[in-house]
A and B are shown apart, each in its own frame.
Chain A
Amino acid sequence: MIKSWRNYEALHQEVASSLLQASESTSTTLPLTDELATWLAQLSLLYGVPVEYMVADARLLPTESMRFFYVDRNWTNRLIDGAISVGVLSSMEKVFNEAFFERIYAQVNEKQVQLRAILRSTNNGGQVVDGTLTGLLFRSQVVSGWPGLEVNASAKGTALDLLRMDRLSDNTLLCLFNGIPDTVDFIEPGEGLHFGINREADADTFNIYLRGLGFPKDGAYPAGEQIKDPDTPGGYLQASSSLRGGTEKGVVAITDLVSSLESKFPSGALENGTLTPGGFAVQMVQGAGFQQYVFGENYPICEAE
């Protein structure tokens, strides 16, 4: 009998042991092809996942809000489970998935940190740091109004890799970071050096953030840098002033503004205590508005219920 000649038991044992060996192997040659790993890495960074499943309730992310979060790896691994469940027709594929899921996760995690670099065609792919992904959701008119908004996260002074930065909708921004940041900076895109003020829409009053002018010479207020408010942690000194009254709108009362600025400067930060045209121009420079969130210092900032 030909059928019984073949030693099936030995064969099954052989297959099982080599599967076991392959799944427990720590060798660097991982099983997935590059395209598949990239696809799964995109999936694990939630590309294509409906927003309703990321933010299940609108009250989690009201308008004009920012929310920080950790990424639940178990959740993203379930996405991968679901994706690799496609085409499981028999116990053969099932056994395969059972044997290889950990190595697939590991390969996806490795790909994940390089994905943004691949998409941007740069070579600076990141490294898996400690496997913790974090991120933020920002829903605001800032997102729709400043398309070139820059977000930088860092931990202990080292910049964290941005794994994904995408708009989920016109006014909702999603950022994912590789690691747990202690500082997140929001930088207004610089559209050329120009001058302006900060105000609410159509307001008659406005404010100007004070910038150092390199005085005193010991460098307490470096030139061009916003001056920290000694009374408010994480805050910056600002002078407020108003527009010139009268029939014609929008005229800045320069003399009032200059004296308001002069009164707010810490002592010694102005040469001879007066603001000169060059120094005034430095105060008025607009183009790189800068909002920083530092853990422990000004974060969590507010509940704003």
Chain B
Amino acid sequence: MNRISTQPASVAPGHIQFLDSIQPPLPAGEYTLTATQVVKDLPGETSDPVYDASQQLLVDGPRFALNPAQIHMVYPPANQSGDFSNSLPSIVFSNFSLPWSREIDPSGAADAPIDGDTPINQVPWMGLLTIYSGDLEGTGSKAGTPFSVSVSELVNPADDTVLPPDLGKIYGPMDNKVAVVDLDISYFQAISPSLEELPFLAHSRVVNTDGKVMLGMEDDGCFSVIIGNRLPNAGDQNTIYLVSYEGHQAHLHGSTIETRYQKIRLALLGSWQFSTLANRGSFLNLMEDLCKPGRGGVKLLQMPDAEVAGELSPLAKEALEIGYVPLQNDMRVGERATSWYRGPFVAAPTREDAAYGPYHFSDHAMHYDPEYGMFNHAYSAAWQIGRLLALSDAAFSAGFFSWRNDYLKSLLQEAKRSVTQKQAQALGAEAVDGKRKRYSIVAGLQHVLASDFSNVDWPKVPGRANEDLPGLLSDKEQQAIHLSGDDPILFIKKKIQQQKSEQ
């Protein structure tokens, strides 16, 4: 007997369990419940009396229409466009036994007793048909257009070239309205699955999405799924019909139909549309095809040496192997030369070497091979890009500039403070003898005063370094004064005093 678990407790969180089908306890249809009671060993009776009772039962289920609340999701999503050209359409029902709730052949299991030996019905009674936009073109198109008829017209169409489903007994009023679609029989047989294929196009799943959103399926529990058998048309608007195959078991793909019929009438349970982008091939194929001839392949970032005409020197070969490419560049003098260049991506590991840096100019970072007369512009180009990118970002360049200057200023301030501190220490230090102490006091005081007074805005003596003093100083002396930064007046005074004393 079939067991039904409607709780996903047996499935680990984040897992999906696939089942062939979930059988309904009783498929839809008409049943007779019979009960027999035998009263045994009654005194005075030669045969045991038998009492029979029977009860007519009707198990109803969706037949010509579906409650939209039972549709959990459809794929490809309705009215969306995307890359669906390699995806089979599917529909998920929250009614977990819906696809098996009817026999595809309404008369098939009519008289079979319901017990533990009932064969499992794995043939779903519904399916998805993928209709391309071209199939819907024109009046009387091969895919037809959905319209509404009464139930009696579904089973007995007015047009006798239309093949109706063989539904057997109809429960319910015959004048109920049903959505139907008439398809060309040849077209229907070309796109519909065969009876043997149908079981593979339906399954059930048990989902436990505990703790995480799993593949867009937020809900836990049991679901039934119907898959279509036709791929959507690339770059096209596609329509999916959810149709009932009930009573059409002998009309599907591969079966022969009387030639007088031209159309087949299907009860339409639902439909949706979506657009498919131009075909691209599927992910895995594209990934595998990287290695096909004419494509790029998968390897290290290297210049293919097959591209180079002629014989390669060992040096050139090595350079290409480690990722260098020869490029033309204009020299400063206007000459055009070939130089090596290599980007940040290299085919061989490199070691970070601080001995390279820092370079203060891009020319610094140019390498030259005197033996072959070739420049290597890899690092100089990098330097230039770094500078240009920094310059192009005003916030960064200004920020870095002021950060560096602030840092330098604070460093200078700190150094001054430290120098002054040392002088102050020297000032107060215990001296070994009186002479040195006096010297320390004088020198220290001078420095302290100099540091403190240097911040005072003293009246400045105008510079006389470049004043022309003919006769007083020789050119050599002038130069010496200029270089030493001494006051020329004082120098002259000294010179005069010296001359006086000599006299």
Interface residues of A (CB under 8 A from B): 1-3, 5-7, 10-11, 14-15, 18-19, 22, 31-33, 35-36, 39, 43, 46, 48-50, 53-57, 59-88, 92-94, 96-98, 101-102, 105, 131-132, 135, 137, 139-142, 145-146, 180, 186, 188, 190-203, 206-207, 209, 243-244, 246-252, 254-255, 258, 276-282, 284, 286-287, 289-291, 293, 299-305
Contacts and interface: CB of A to CB of B under 8 A. Distances in A.
A277 B405 CA distance: 74
Given A192-B75, A202-B279, A39 B290 contact: no
Contacts of B165: none
A56 B18 contact: no
A141 B286 contact: yes
B57 interface: no
Contact of B300 (A49, A68, A254): A68
A97 B358 CA distance: 7
17 contacts: A18-B414, A54-B344, A66-B299, A80-B386, A96-B408, A132-B349, A145-B286, A193-B216, A199-B282, A206-B86, A246-B190, A248-B230, A251-B190, A278-B21, A279-B20, A281-B225, A302-B291
Contacts of B360: 81, 85, 88, 94, 97
Contact of A83 (B190, B389, B411, B414): B389
B298 A197 contact: no
Nearest to A145: B280
Contact of A302 (B132, B197, B299): B299
A2 B454 contact: yes
Chain B interface mostly helix, strand, loop or mixed?
mixed
Contacts of B138: none
B301 A87 contact: no
Contacts of B343: 53-56, 75
A65 B298 contact: yes
A81 B400 contact: no
Most chain B CB atoms below 10 A, which of A57, A93, A105, A139: A57
B295 A65 contact: yes
Contact of B458 (A2, A206, A281): A2
A79 B87 contact: no
Given A18-B414, A82-B390, A86-B401, A279 B487 contact: no
A252 B303 contact: no
A128 B86 CA distance: 43
A31 B399 contact: no
Nearest to B391: A86
Contact of A81 (B196, B200, B234, B383): B383
A81 B86 contact: no
Contact of B297 (A18, A131, A301): A301
Contacts of A258: 200
A203 B13 CA distance: 38
A290 B282 CA distance: 12
Nearest to A139: B296
Given A82-B387, A188-B283, A101 B75 contact: no
Nearest to A282: B18
Contacts of B449: 5
A43 B194 contact: no
B236 to A, nearest CB: 10
B280 A201 contact: yes
Interface stretch (B2-10, B154-162, B201-209): B201-209
Interface string B187-217: 1001101101101111111000000000111
B201 A6 contact: no
Interface string B278-296: 0111111111111111111
A209 B503 CA distance: 115
Nearest to B324: A56
B471 interface: no
Nearest to B346: A72
A250 B20 contact: no
Given A63-B295, A78-B356, A198-B285, 13 more contacts: A6-B447, A14-B416, A14-B419, A43-B386, A46-B344, A53-B344, A66-B299, A67-B345, A73-B351, A78-B383, A201-B279, A251-B191, A254-B194
